[in-house]
Amino acid sequence: MRFRHRAVAGFATLLLPLAGLVGLASPAEAATSATATYAKTQDWGSGFEGKWTVKNTGTTSLSSWTVEWDFPSGTSVTSAWDADVTSSGTHWTAKNKSWNGTLAPGASVSFGFNGAGSGSPANCKLNGGSCDGGTTEPGDSAPSAPGTPSASDITNTSVKLSWSAATDDKGIKNYDVLRDGAKVATVTTTSYSDTGLTAGTDYSYTVQARDTADQTGPVSGARAVRTTGGTTEPPTGDKVKLGYFTEWGVYGRNYHVKNLVTSGSASKITHINYAFGNVKNGQCTVDDTYAAYDKAYTADQSVSGTADTWDQPLRGNFNQLRQLKAKYPHIKVLYSFGGWTYSGGFGQAAANAAAFAKSCKAVVEDPRWADVFDGIDIDWEYPNACGLTCDTSGPAAFKNLMSALRTEFGPNYLVTAAITADGSSGGKIDAADYGGASQYLDWYNVMTYDYFGAFNAQGPTAPHSPLTSYAGIPQAGFNSADAIAKLKSKGVASKKLLLGIGFYGRGWTGVTQAAPGGTATGAAPGTYEAGIEDYKVLKNSCPANGTIAGTAYAYCGNNWWSYDTPSTIAGKMTWAKNQGLGGAFFWEFSGDTAGGELVTAINDGLN
């Protein structure tokens, strides 16, 4: 669990009963015009951070303030700052400190708290009156916050925004659209197209609802948007933000390199792993040559807006990646070899590591696309252990292979590896010398997902990407925190570890309980494979209704799914930064929404 600490004297531990409070504000104070608004500022799965803001909207000074609200059973405040917070059952009361009770007209003050549970406050009162500045009559409430806007149809000069509706007991009148904090439009629908923007520029959008009494509610979450075009590279921070682009996605999934542009994702990542090259006869080789460098793109399908010709020397994904790098020069691309299906060839490759490395260099630096790739990624599942097949090359084979690759590629190329996240005692991390090999690598992509799923058809249901352990977890050590801790204990530097995020869920059917740990009869139906479904589908077909161990789960009908959401990703990114990790990576782009909301969550969380 992540806790918020403040050095100021306002930090309070919740020990006092409500009976210990002084009385509520006097009637004269209650008549003073003031508002109290709430926002959930962080959510890390096992808990959250909330903030109340009290504002004096009247014409006379406010000498003190007391905010009251109800939480549903199971939700509570665990610590607070800048206010004295106490409770009686599910009713909570926050009173100003001695130094922040006086508010001049137009002034505001905020206090915050850490909470447990997933509920939201209700029945708010400020100094005995309505928190929206109105009377205490039933129904006189300000609107809720609208949903965080999504962005689509992003061009050099425009973007389309849409959001889920706010709620209000008297009805919503309209919405204010704010760009970088300034209102740019007022609309009556839940969408808006903003035009006249500057190419290659970052913007931030929020939305605020207004009810029929003209009361405004809290603003929504912010959506970052970068328009296409321009020459200025976007700020990416010092953390790696890497996504896998699958070679085969151009077929049934109809996902192409240009989708990284239209979704806004290209401006928010630092690296792409192109997956996968094959490993045959102990050598690296291109797998699908048609998708890789022969498929012709029309002008509207192409990143550059120019159609491929029949006689140009390079087409396909490689040419599209070249065009992407021209538009977004900050992006580095690595060619990833292996993966679940093609890892069977690594045992033979390890027998002559130098020859393998030489073959990989020849593929990555083929003169036709030598400018496309900035390095190589090895996805061996798993050295000296079992994946689709079992490897018996010994604990030193992986280190030897990485050493040969670094020798062959030299210091100016990226050399990375996707590795197991099995943190159990005697598990896959213990089977190979990941600590010794790390000296040759820029970073490890630690595959902190697929811990549990319908490959165990009868369950128990469990999150496939738990951040931490929890009571009832089916296998000890099968969580991100234990995996990262074990790799650190083997001498791998924190900055060489990237946390893995799945842009998909794993699920069971025949489940009779919503909570994790239930039995099942098999894999839940999936678009491409039973038991697996993209986030972009699950967010609508089976919305998350619970969290455990820092990730989300959903129970709908008799199906049970687990997957990460923007909220749980935010919590994981906070955890990764607190651990000093080098960043995060994800599998894979096409599971995200058309507006790239999961990529946005990773980018926002690591910045």
In DSSP notation, 429-490 reads: HHHS-HHHHGGG-SEEEE----SS-TTSTT-----SS-SS--TT-SSTT-SHHHHHHHHHHT
Which H or E run includes 560?
A: strand 559-563
In DSSP notation, 190-221 reads: SEEEE-SPPTT-EEEEEEEEEETT--B-----
CA distance 423 to 429: 6
SS (H, E, C) 294-310: CCCCCHHHCCCCCCCCC
CA distance 350 to 330: 33
CA distance 303 to 298: 10
Which residues are tagged catalytic?
381
User: Edge-to-edge, what's the strand order for the sheet holding 34-43?
Assistant: 12-13, 76-81, 108-116, 48-56, 34-43
CA dihedral 468, 473, 475, 477 (to 10 degrees): 20
CA dihedral 245, 249, 250, 252 (to 10 degrees): -170
Query: Strand 559-563 and strand 34-43: pairing?
Result: unpaired
Amino acid at 366: D
Q: Which residues pair with 533 in a beta bridge?
A: 505
Which H or E run includes 130?
A: strand 129-130
Q: Which residues pair with 284 in a beta bridge?
A: 279
CA distance 572 to 8: 27
CA dihedral 308, 314, 317, 323 (to 10 degrees): -70
Kindly report whether the peptide bond that precedes residue 247 is cis, defined as omega within 30 degrees of 0.
no
Asked if 479 and 550 touch (Cβ cutoff 8 Å), the reply is no
Asked if 136 and 129 touch (Cβ cutoff 8 Å), the reply is yes
Amino acid at 245: F
